[in-house]
Structure 1
């Protein structure tokens, strides 16, 4: 089992995780419009992405931490 990722690693990866989540939520709402669902505003997508970006960043940071451990780092 890998150790918890450091705060520095989480802080460095969070903007990328939140940004990716926001873009995916926005594009998912565009695809949903094909079946009649409303399209989210960019602001709503950013807010949802900020929330979903936390767990996504945690999972990715754990993966990076395991790769560091496998490579012989700390």
Structure 2
């Protein structure tokens, strides 16, 4: 199974995009902490909680879309 076949389904593509966005967010936080670009403290907790709540709703929406019958 090639990479093209793996992403043939829209649902798999949406899951991959969601995971990619989470990795970019975590990578940005890690880079900011390691390079001391920003102060990483308790002020970041509400932003992180909000981000992961948004991603949770994103993945729930994708899962609900899987339950809908196909039009074709």
Is the TM-score greater than 0.5?
no
| Greater share of residues in helix | 1
Higher relative contact order (CA 8 A, sep 6+): 1
TM-score, normalised by the number of residues in structure 1: 0.41
TM-score, normalised by the number of residues in structure 2: 0.42
Structure with the greater alpha carbon radius of gyration? 2
